Amino acid sequence: MPTTPAAAAHIDHYIDGRVDDRGAETRSEVYNPATGQVSGLLALATIQDVDAAVQSAAKAFETWSLTPPHIRSRILFRFRDLVERETDRLAAIITAEHGKVLDDARGEVIRGLEVVEFACGIPQQLKGEFSENVSRAVDAMSLRQPLGVVAGISPFNFPAMVPMWMFPVALACGNTFVMKPSEKDPTLSVELAKLLTRAGLPDGVFNVVHGDKTAVDALLAHDDIEAVSFVGSTPIAEYVHQTATAHGKRVQALGGAKNHMVVMPDADLDQAVASLMGAAYGSAGERCMAISVVVPVGEDTANALRERLVAALDQLKVGPGTLDGVEMGPLVTKDHRDRVAGYLETGAQEGAELVVDGRQTQLPGHEGGFFLGGSLFDHVTPDMRIYREEIFGPVLTMVRAQSFAQALQLVNDHEFGNGTAIFTADGNTARTYLAKVKAGMVGVNVPIPVPMAFHSFGGWKRSLFGDHHIHGPEGVRFYTRYKTATTRWPNDSKVRAEFSMPTHG
């Protein structure tokens, strides 16, 4: 275990518009995954710290909820401009704590900004409906109003993008927010909080608390929190959903995935392989939309695909994310690297063929980093752990199918249903797949079908707990309550009491 350098930065909470540097009872270590060295000491929130953030947000809600939507939008416009201006600096922070290559980190920031841009249009999104004369001299209207204090709990794999899937829409709708980022790469959320303050966001509207299960449980149980957004693994998503709903909260909890890519015999194999390399090994496979299972249809397709994948993996450039030309960086922590490596041993023991073993990747001069090369299994069967479970690393498994129907059934039988893709030149095959596959997001010759911000993101089956997908129109619905009003204004006519059900007659 590396020693903690004296110069390791303290990473603190952000409460009521400022860094909360009062000191922490307990701190955990944050690592640079490319070197394996400790880069920061993170404050872990107590129940009292969480309560301080929630109370700050509750006080701020009193005025923020009454701020006109176009004023809230202007603040988000300024925030958007600040983030765009500082994209390179923010990307460098992501690479230093997560390990993904700089281009990928920049792309993450940009995808997060797309949700900010959607949220900037909130005056249009909050427009209600009006019906005149639903009865004589009676009008009806609908309204969408903010919930109150809401919380977000985000994973390590997208320290910028996933929080920006949550808080811009929540703030635009008039809510105040408490963010709990991953303790593995927490700095980015504090930087976003500072930029929100610079953009003119009032103190207390957006707060950041760091921590572990203590902080999470405090958020899930707090009486003043109305809703919780979560992205992470399925066991934790299920726990968050059950615990928060038991405390009367609205919950959207996005869980794990085992995303399949079906490759038909008529597919362009060069395009399919290029897409697979990025989708399976980009960001070291630490994406909930990563392709972790490829399903070639027919033995000829499988053999040709395997040959091309092996050649491409031989050329995959692994190294620190700050170096030019590197395509895949380290995994986020040593424990996670070792866990993923353990699946390679498990798959081989289960009888799968380990065609390319990422444990053999050597990086002279970077022995302390949390590196693992890209790996490929063939002849995987649905009963194997490496097929059933989410590995969340640079491991691609190949499951051979003999027909389109068998491939479709394979996808539909899996417990996860986050995303999937099909590569084919036949429109009817693609249309049938789109209609019948049981997954929330589908790509046709697109390997990672993450929707744009003005659509919504979410899976099916055990990839989503709750009724709402995240961002886009679903995000607006999640972060608002629907209210209808029926109005009548006094006139000169006499009104008598009515004791039967009111009608529009």
Q: Write out the catalytic residue numbers.
A: 288
Output the six-digit token pair for 106.
């920049």
CB 169 within 8 A of CB 476: yes
The three-state secondary structure class of 259 is: strand
The 3-state secondary structure of 352-389 reads: CEEEECHHHCCCCCCCCCCCCCCEEEECCCCCCHHHHC
Quote the distance between the C-alpha of residue 265 and its chain's center: 33
The Cα 273–Cα 261 span in angstroms is 11
The Cα 12–Cα 188 span in angstroms is 12
Note the maximum CA span of the chain: 92
The Cα 122–Cα 202 span in angstroms is 18
Query: Hey, which residues does 151 pair with through a beta bridge?
Result: 178, 228
Alpha-carbon dihedral sign for residues 429, 299, 289, 82:
negative
Beta-carbon count within 10 A of 106 CB: 19
The Cα 441–Cα 237 span in angstroms is 18
The Cα 145–Cα 174 span in angstroms is 8
Q: Which amino acid, 318?
A: V
Output the six-digit token pair for 336.
């996670």
Q: What is the DSSP letter of 451?
A: P
CB 163 within 8 A of CB 156: no
The Cα 227–Cα 220 span in angstroms is 9
The Cα 36–Cα 12 span in angstroms is 22
The Cα 401–Cα 246 span in angstroms is 43
